[in-house]
Amino acid sequence: MKHVVVLGVGRVGGAMAKDLAPDFRVTVVDRSEAALARMGEAGLATQVADLARPEAIKAAVADADLVVGAMPGFMGFATAKAVLEAGKPLVDISFFDEDCFGLDALAKSQNLTAIVDCGVAPGCHNMILGDLSRQWDRITSFECLVGGLPVVRTWPYEYKAGFSPIDVIEEYTRPARYVKDGQVVTFPALSEPELLDFDELGTLESFNTDGLRSILQTFPQVPHMKEKTLRYPGHIEKMRMLRESGFFGKEKLKVAGVEISPLDLTTHLLFPLWFMQEGEEDFTVMRVTVEGEKGGQQMRQQWSLLDRYDRATKTTSMARTTGYTCTAAVRLLAKGGYSRKGISPPEFVGQEPGAWDFIREDLAKRNVVFREG
């Protein structure tokens, strides 16, 4: 059996490790002994390591056939770099801010395949765009609406983080780029709020976030592209208030003789309120709309997803949709269904004939179902 090493055993990393275990020899690596103990109880091999150190990463993956990266975004780029320097192929879900193509030359020099941003979003929507781009003559418009939310709305924020909370704040502070009339335009995150209705859910609130990422480079020919995040109505204004008041600032201030950044204080107070407790139920909603032309005819395709917490396995929907997309890509690589060398954002995977069908079918086996139309 191929040996897969999973770096980072948070809620999503743990779900991925368990999903891979029937098909691969899996080792999970983290600095948290408590997190590793839970994995050990599930019958997985574990290893303690300080993954902030590149040499520790290289030692942890030395025996791997393939590595899965599930680190927080601020550690993602350095982790991926260390894995590639160690000569190992990678499938990664880190939402890191750095340009992923900054690692392309390294990956190619090692003759390695590295799929990055391989979650639900970014991830699945990129694959949909890539898949349609090889079938149609031209793509004219691409829009993705996506969000993960708790089923129970609890005051004051009516939100719980299904993945690393610090990455959520990055979504609220990082300027949002999208494409209008062939030009990249930049707006503040949380801008252009819209109220939208969804079957089974009712009305949600959408706002700009920087979710197009690599698509801005890989599909410059598409004249209109946008990605927006979904939350319960009212959440935007609360986050804008915190941001504009400076609570997300990273520069240290001196308060009562103590130096501390506003962000450190905010996260200390906010994250306990955002932490999803064991058994709390969530859902993931997504709607991807693509328009274009084929053979002189106007084309329009829409994919939708509504996934819910799995009570049987106690797995959050965000872990299922993000994690199982990544594990499907691992299986795709393992069976030889994708072999492009260098850095591959998910749209490159989607351009491989049959790849999106494989990913979608693998997700459907786990009851994560994308519906067309």
Residue 339 structure tokens: 């072999």
The DSSP result for 91-148, as a single string, is EE----SS-GGGGHHHHHHTT-EEE-S-BBTTBHHHHHHHHHHHHSSEEEEEEEEEEE
pTM (two decimals): 0.93
Asked whether 217 and 197 are in contact (CB, 8 A), the reply is: no
| Backbone angles phi and psi of 98, in degrees to 5 | -70, 160
Averaged pLDDT, 126-142: 98
Going by pLDDT thresholds of 50, 70 and 90, the confidence category of residue 10 is confident
Averaged pLDDT, 327-347: 97
Averaged pLDDT, 103-116: 98
Going by pLDDT thresholds of 50, 70 and 90, the confidence category of residue 313 is very high
Going by pLDDT thresholds of 50, 70 and 90, the confidence category of residue 1 is confident
C-alpha span between 255 and 258 (Å, rounded)? 5
Averaged pLDDT, 267-277: 88
Residue 162: what pLDDT?
66
Q: What are the residue boundaries of the structural domains of the chain, listed by start?
A: 3-120+318-372, 124-248+276-308
Q: Where are the alpha helices (DSSP H) in 187-246?
A: 215-218, 235-244
Averaged pLDDT, 70-87: 95
Classify residue 187 by burial, with Cβ atoms within 10 Å: 0-12, 13-18, 19+: middle
C-alpha span between 331 and 265 (Å, rounded)? 41
Q: How many CB atoms neighbour CB 224 within 10 A?
A: 15
Q: Percent of the chain beyond pLDDT 70? A: 99
Element (H, E) at 54: helix 54-60
The superfamily (CATH) of domain 124-248+276-308 is Dihydrodipicolinate Reductase; domain 2 (3.30.360.10)
Residue 87: what pLDDT?
98
Res. 125: pLDDT tops 80: yes
Query: What digits encode the pLDDT tens for the residues 169-225?
Result: 888 999 999 999 999 999 999 999 999 999 999 999 999 999 999 999 999 999 999
The superfamily (CATH) of domain 3-120+318-372 is NAD(P)-binding Rossmann-like Domain (3.40.50.720)
Q: Which residues of 226-256 are buried (b: 16+ CB within 10 A; e: fewer)?
A: bbbbbbbeebbeebbebbeeebbbeeeeeee
* Average of per-residue pLDDT values in the chain: 95
C-alpha span between 207 and 313 (Å, rounded)? 32
Going by pLDDT thresholds of 50, 70 and 90, the confidence category of residue 309 is very high
Averaged pLDDT, 219-241: 96
Averaged pLDDT, 271-284: 90
Q: Scanning the structure block, which residue is given the tokens 């939100």?
A: 159
